[in-house]
Chains A and B, each alone.
Chain A
């Protein structure tokens, strides 16, 4: 099933055009990796999917973008963001305890039953592969965790509000290889229940986890294909050049 459908999507921030005529279909339960050099529009595209770009003054769009067959501009923005969760480049724990960091979003969406909240917290931490490391100290400040643990905490926090899609914006850019491996492992497991869109600067990461990979350059979608295909026999020379590290 197609969950996101973009047709001729153009966006601007003030005078600067960040996306040019991008058309993509994102399937449910796939991991779509988006690669490209900086300023290629990949993060701008990702932030279209939960309308985070709307926060930017001077943002304009043209073209078509639908989520679950609905015009994304017509969906209530809070419920869209609940259904389309996001994990940021830098782990962003709130200045609260581990437990409260995850309970925060759940409570915000109206859940008051404490037993239910604890079970959601436990379940989300398990899904993010963090439960075993923190189950004895849920009350301590989230800032006490290591960078990799904080990032998995943020994944758990996103999962706790029960989204359908999770957007990852360079989730491992600040992490060491072992933490990265853990986050990737979590992503692969999450694929069963969620659609994942992963923006990454790490070409190898795209190759490891992506079902399909899209290559963006200067705001354009250059190529989109099965990940094996992109990495073995890309159709476009620019894709080939980027993957081989000739530029970027």
Chain B
């Protein structure tokens, strides 16, 4: 009887474990099946390199280059803002802050991660967007810059908590060794701790960026959604994710528009897959 129970539980866990992999495979298959169908209407080069996205005009123009650029510029902007602040914040929490402040900051960062993205988008829409508009004298504040700033807030918790973890796990003896040579606190941080934690920090950055590239709601609310190749960071852009979210509802099932949206999904999938694998490689290098 006990053996049977053991057997049953073991198999149950096994099935649960398989299920998650099974779903990933199913999603991937579905995505490819629906997405690749678009290449009956448009060839892959025109799809990826095409400069106009007019999916419902006649004939439909399905070039996603503006969307890729939109995603990249928003992500790049978010990275430029969030990486230095995030790493500095991690250094402060791991190394400088007294333990009480440390606790407060850590829970603050966790709280930031818990804010739903639609709320962040909403706050961005009513505060940040008008601010960007007046500061830069723009016709509209719905720009790539606004998106980058809000997304930087969303990447920050990931970057801070993982980078802080990496810094914390640098052996204490490295630090003592540097101090014993007469290094100042900053010299120790800059020349010993950061290099020693570098692989973990790179992983933190990659995971933060991964979060940014997949983010949809906040971006859709504040970037203006113009499918034009951006000439600067102060113009409206449309990202890959926002395109899918905004247009999936109105696309006719089985139309080329519908298939094109799935193909965008594949592009996104590949992008975040590459980012995650890179992050993973760096994380494992550490161990």
Contact = CB atoms under 8 A, between A and B. Distances in A.
Which range holds the interface residue count of chain A? Answer: 20 to 34
Given A104-B191, A108-B187, A108-B191, A92 B177 contact: yes
Interface stretch (B33-41, B44-52, B72-80, B178-186): B178-186
A105 B187 CA distance: 10
Contacts of B192: 94
Given A57-B99, A94-B192, A108-B191, A81 B180 contact: yes
B179 A52 contact: yes
Contact of B182 (A88, A92, A108): A108
Interface string A77-100: 011111101101010101100000
B184 A78 contact: yes
B182 A82 contact: yes
B196 interface: yes
A78 B182 contact: yes
B180 A52 contact: yes
A197 to B, nearest CB: 13
B131 interface: no
Contacts of B182: 78-83, 105, 108-109, 161
B174 interface: yes
Contact of B173 (A57, A88, A95, A158): A88
A161 B196 contact: no
Interface in A152-184: 154, 157-158, 161
A191 to B, nearest CB: 20
Given A55-B176, A94-B174, A109-B182, 8 more contacts: A52-B179, A52-B180, A78-B183, A78-B184, A85-B180, A88-B180, A154-B177, A161-B181
6 contacts: A55-B176, A81-B183, A82-B181, A94-B174, A104-B191, A158-B180
